[in-house]
Amino acid sequence: MKILYFSFCLLLCWLACSEKFPDQPNANLPPETHLSFFTLEPLNPSTSRQILHWWGDDPDGKVAGFFYTWDSTLSIPANRNTASGWYFTTQNSDTFSLRFNRLDTTFLFRVIAVDDEDFTDPSPARQLFPVFNSPPKVSFIPDSDVPETTFTVASFAWKATDLDGDETIQQYEWTLDDTLGPWHPLSPKINFLTLTADSGLKAGSHVFYLRVTDNAGVRSQIIRMPSLPTDKWIVQEPQGKILLLDDYSPVDGATPFYISVMDSLGLSYTHWDIKADRDRDTRPDLLPPSVLTFKETLRLFKLVVWYGDESPKLEYAQISIPDYVNGGGKVLFSTRFKEFFTEQGDPLDFSPADSLGLNIKRILNGTQIQPLPFQNLPTLKVQTTAGIIPFVKTLIKKPSAIQVYQLESNTQWPGNPDIALESADKSLIFFALPIHLLDGNRNAGRMLSLLLSDHLGVK
């Protein structure tokens, strides 16, 4: 019995040892590719910006990456080496902006997985994309409305968008007064335009029209400025080469004073009230929304007489006056400061003052404002209906500046602090007090005419 059992075991071992195994392993299986947009039917028309997701499975290895293409003419590669023209990625998604040159078209997207032995899926995941080109849109920047009245300078700022991608915007076009044109093209990189007399901006009523075109030739709706369909803005030709810039709100005789002086000199000038209509909710004043427009407006004149209250547009002055005087312009600037002037910007960058000096709580009527020797100017005297000028700040001159007027000696302040200075190149005279409040001797007008003629060269 034992002999038979032992023989049976030997027979089993012989049979097991005699089993033959193949010399080669199973062939590599290709990966499978999947696309989240995959459907049996084409999609409804959509925009040209698409976000696609894909993934792959490999039954006997791992997926090393993917090849994709939008070129329907390319053949399916068998491996990585034959994937010429296909794009390789290790990502599982991407955003595509499909470019085309007509209103709509159909694109074919194919993606194939590649495994760790460089073999590709022989049956790509694929999807047709019928694409409708969305028209671009353009709108003016909020709070950039053109004022009701301008001189022969007006600026416009806008922003355009396109659902197919802002990079598809090809050009802007603008025209004045008539949508029939002529339309003037602008680069897609431009979103700000200043019109002048050279651009055809003449005296009268005007409308600015704008549209945008994408790279498929599709145009946006036309927008207009002013926005209301019945509105136009008024353009005025500047009168003379002198600008009387009214930056003054209180009703205390400032504007009549300056106008009377200009009229007495027989000068041709333009009066610009940048604080007009300040009580209206829809248009707070006639100041252009862009400082660049303001700068271009100043360049229409040779001399600016700028008189301001305690809240002048100093941020405009800081930016515009240096360029203006560097271009040959002359400025006489008269203002006063709030108790905390830093809230309204630093006026000293453009002025002959290095800094502000004393803080004087008030100056009483009758206080003398004295000219410096050799200035050939009269002594002025404070005269206001309120009896005082509150919160006066004196000036500390820059080393090169010329002193023009000082306060007389008084127990309320030390010495004779400076009130008016002139730049070394005689292009700018700066008063830290409103000139029309210094007419107690009835000679402020004569002083102003002397400054204009003898110091600023007005004839």
Distance of CA 382 to the CA centre of its chain: 44
CB-side exposure of 241: number of CA atoms within 13 Å? 9
Which residue type, as a one-letter code, is found at position 296?
A: E
pLDDT for 369 beyond 90: yes
Q: Residue 26 falls within a domain, yes or no?
A: no
Q: What string of DSSP letters covers 357-388?
A: EEEEEEEETT-EEEEPTTS--PPEE---TTSE
Q: Residue 101 falls within a domain, yes or no?
A: yes
Q: Residue 251 falls within a domain, yes or no?
A: yes
Lowest mean pLDDT among 58-62, 85-89, 283-287, 345-349: 283-287
% of the chain at pLDDT higher than 90 = 56
Q: Residue 274 falls within a domain, yes or no?
A: yes
Residue with structure tokens 């600008």? Answer: 243
Q: Where are the beta strands (DSSP E) in 116-256?
A: 125-132, 137-140, 149-150, 153-161, 169-176, 184-186, 192-196, 204-206, 208-214, 223-225, 233-235, 242-247
Q: pLDDT tens-digit profile of 43-54?
A: 555 556 778 999
* C-alpha distance from residue 286 to each of 210, 290, 331 (Å): 23, 12, 21
Q: Residue 185 falls within a domain, yes or no?
A: yes
Better-scored residue on pLDDT, 251 or 406: 406
Q: pLDDT tens-digit profile of 179-234?
A: 998 999 999 999 999 999 988 899 999 999 999 998 878 899 999 999 999 999 99
User: Which of 98, 116, 132 is a domain's end point?
Assistant: 132
Residue-level pLDDT at 12: 46
CATH of residue 217: 2.60.40.10
Residue 58, Cβ neighbours under 10 Å: how many?
Answer: 20
| One domain for residues 117 and 159 | no
Given 3-state DSSP classes, what are the helix, strand and coil percentages for the chain, each rounded to the nearest 5?
A: 15, 35, 45
Which residue type, as a one-letter code, is found at position 83?
A: A
Residue-level pLDDT at 23: 52
Model pTM greater than 0.95? Answer: no
| One domain for residues 352 and 257 | yes
| One domain for residues 48 and 166 | no
- Contact status, residue 155 vs residue 145, Cβ threshold 8 Å: no
Pairing of strands 242-247, 303-308: parallel
Q: Residue 14 falls within a domain, yes or no?
A: no
Q: Residue 1 falls within a domain, yes or no?
A: no
| One domain for residues 71 and 213 | no
pLDDT for 367 beyond 60: yes
pLDDT for 73 beyond 80: yes
| One domain for residues 319 and 175 | no
| One domain for residues 145 and 278 | no
| One domain for residues 229 and 351 | no
Total domains in the chain come to 3
Tell me which residue range forms the domain holding 173: 137-235
Collapsing DSSP states into helix, strand and coil, what is residue 427?
A: coil
User: Which of 75, 104, 132 is a domain's end point?
Assistant: 132
- Contact status, residue 118 vs residue 79, Cβ threshold 8 Å: yes
**Sheet of strand 192-196, all strands in order from the earlier edge strand to the far edge:** 137-140, 153-161, 192-196
Residue-level pLDDT at 276: 67
Residue-level pLDDT at 355: 87
Q: Residue 9 falls within a domain, yes or no?
A: no
